Amino acid sequence: MKITDAKVIVCSPGRNFVTLKLTTEDGAYGLGDATLNGRELAVATYLTEHVVPLLIGRDARRIEDIWQYLYKGAYWRRGPVTMAAISAVDTALWDIKAKTLGVPLYQLLGGASRDSVLVYGHASGADIEEAVKAVAHYVDLGYKAIRAQSGVPGLASTYGVGRGGMYYEPAEKNIPPENLWSSERYLDFVPQLFSRLRREFGPDLHLLHDAHHRLTPIEAARLGKELEPYHLFWLEDPSPAELQERFRLIRQHTTTPIAVGEVFNSVYDCQQLIQEQLIDYIRTTVVHAGGISHLRKIASLAEMYQVRTGSHGATDLSPACMAAALHFDLSVHNFGIQEYMRHAPETDRVFPHSYTFDQGHMYPGDSPGLGVDIDESLAAKFPYQRAYLPVNRKLDGTVHDW
Ligand code: KDG
Ligand code: MG
């Protein structure tokens, strides 16, 4: 079953997406997400110039062989651009295989390990009162797990706080905005937010929070410790994780569960975190960590160390990635939770899909393959628009982690 066509589709229905569509000689096709927020065209070019010529004529059934060919064959390994490109190929090939066999993808991954996929949504507000209202709104929508973020007194903006509505979108057109940051103000404030949320919503609601890589290990340790009374489901990305051993210090100080991994590209980025049990949830996702094939390997390592999965699922991961994630989540034994940020309506129109949400859980559906399509003529009506994630500086002007 030879690959006869490989098309890289760049579109911007609400935000930018890069999608790979592979077609085989018998007309079957599959989709893979290749979106890298703020650096989309680097992946599109990598695919078009360096990967597509290698795919034409190759046997679409040889998923693992093609993965290794693209990974080892490039000589230059890993990195977000390379791995997003490999992920897109891998996901599209799994989609083709499942469609050809007439089964939803999770059936090829060992079948369902559970009946549904627990997801968490994003609630945010400019201050505590607004955040309480936003969490209440998500509770009304049926969510059982909610990530809560709030504006911090004395800071004009912070990560995770939307400009209203359900569609938080941090990427901005043209030159990136620069935010100002104070870890001191943030650390003083966040425990107040969760004290209020627990009082308001009781013990059963799962509450999560994303520190978005901004703290030093000892600051993260302090935050984790002060949040212990509020029993978070997790504290995400408390500190940048390039240096995996820095999480030892956080771990020594707090029992708040830790989740890390949305910027990781391979098992080597989280090997120490997993093997030393420095985290509770690994957040690698299909599009940025080598596709379904590689994500399963990460999950298998994590399973041995009682680390559960909690894949990234922000709006910059397209419906093709979301669907792939749901098939993965349904099948792996050590699934923990899945992030679900709803896409804008125009995104959903460009990518019709069979996955559904009900009462805080999601279902990939039983369409053959991923259960996601792309309306190419509609996609063409939303051309690419350059956009960047914000840049962060401390109050004294020093560049900081965003
Ligand atoms: O592209 C970056 C976003 O996906 C990221 O900032 C979102 O941290 C994020 C999350 O947990 O969803
Ligand atoms: Mg995050």
Contact 334/309 with Cβ under 8 angstroms?
yes
Residues facing 308 on adjacent strands: 281
Per-position pLDDT tens, the chain of length 402? 999 999 999 999 999 999 999 999 999 999 999 999 999 999 999 999 999 999 999 999 999 999 999 999 999 999 999 999 999 999 999 999 999 999 999 999 999 999 999 999 999 999 999 999 999 999 999 999 999 999 999 999 889 997 766 677 888 888 898 999 999 999 999 999 999 999 999 999 999 999 999 999 999 999 999 999 999 999 999 999 999 999 999 999 999 999 999 999 999 999 999 999 999 999 999 999 999 999 999 999 999 999 999 999 999 999 999 999 999 999 999 999 999 999 999 999 999 999 999 999 999 999 999 999 999 999 999 999 999 999 999 999 999 999
- Residue appearing with tokens 């401390």: 394
Work out the burial of residue 242: count CB atoms within 10 Å of its CB; fewer than 13 is exposed, 13-18 middle, 19 or more buried. Answer: exposed
Contact 364/186 with Cβ under 8 angstroms?
no
| C-alpha–C-alpha distance, residues 53 and 136, integer Å | 51
Ligand 2 ion: Cβ-proximal residues, 5 Å cutoff: 210, 262
Active-site residue, 212 included: yes
Q: Whose CA is nearest to atom 1 of ligand 1?
A: 37
Contact 250/261 with Cβ under 8 angstroms?
no
Q: Whose CA is nearest to atom 10 of ligand 1?
A: 314
> What are the residue ranges spanned by the domains of the chain?
3-104, 108-368
Give the dihedral sign, CA 197/199/201/203. Answer: positive
* Residue of 106, 143, 159, 230 with catalytic role: 159
Per-residue tokens: 302: 């994590």
Q: Whose CA is nearest to atom 7 of ligand 1?
A: 314
Contact 1/61 with Cβ under 8 angstroms?
yes
Cα(260) to ligand 2 centroid in Å equals 8
Q: Whose CA is nearest to atom 3 of ligand 1?
A: 314
Cβ of 37 less than 6 Å from ligand 1: yes
Per-residue tokens: 187: 């650390």
pLDDT value of residue 241: 96
Fold type of domain 108-368 = TIM Barrel (3.20.20)
Neighbours of 111 (CB within 10 A): 11
Fold type of domain 3-104 = Enolase-like; domain 1 (3.30.390)
Q: Model confidence over 75-109: pLDDT tens digits?
A: 999 999 999 999 999 999 999 999 999 999 999 99
Cα(190) to ligand 2 centroid in Å equals 16
Candidate from 262, 282, 288 with most ligand 1 atoms within 8 A of CB, to mutate: 262
Q: Beta strand 387-388 with 172-173: parallel, antiparallel or unpaired?
A: antiparallel
Specify the pTM. Answer: 0.97
Active-site residue, 294 included: no
Tell me the H-state helices in 102-203. Answer: 105-108, 128-140, 183-201
Per-residue tokens: 371: 């259960």
Q: Model confidence over 313-369: pLDDT tens digits?
A: 999 999 999 999 999 999 999 999 999 999 999 999 999 999 999 999 999 999 999
Per-residue tokens: 115: 């009946």
From start to end of 64-181, where are the E strands?
Answer: 117-125, 145-150, 172-173, 178-181
Can you say how many angstroms the Cα of residue 282 is from the centroid of all Cα atoms in its chain? 11
